[in-house]
Structure 1
């Protein structure tokens, strides 16, 4: 079962590895996010988001995905990650959203 929670500061490397893999695996597919390593999302942005408790991760038990750490222990793996804050990329404010909400009301 997927556990969804705020990422911990000690998970920064795992979060960065998740985004690196996601960019690599989605490149050239119908789901290509058009992101570039080190640019978007940048390591600095991810660290700031993590430290502000704005980075949410979805974790799967290792047994469900057949992944075991080098030490032999089963550790959950990051299956999803996203930054949830009140900011939007340029142009988001021009979209005719179905709900009229101030930026601080959106997450």
Structure 2
């Protein structure tokens, strides 16, 4: 059983925990208790990778809301007359990165 647990764990790049490994083992061996697989994995120091929680930035009404200067009139008659921007956050290995592009509504550049 130990060898089969190691094999399933390695075949799935360490993504499987004891529950999924138990389900896979039941295909080969029939009835087997999940606690037994959990104990074997603890003895072998095998830990399934945890899924990272999806980032949600919305926290409700927080901070100051900017005044609506454009009033949904997105047509500009000259360059640099109306500029809009937004902020996007990226999670990277080095930390958080922020992207804030500026768009001119006259020519969409």
- Give TM-score scaled by structure 1 length: 0.23
Higher share in helix = 1
Larger radius of gyration: 2
Higher relative contact order, structure no. (Cα contacts within 8 Å, ≥ 6 residues apart) = 1
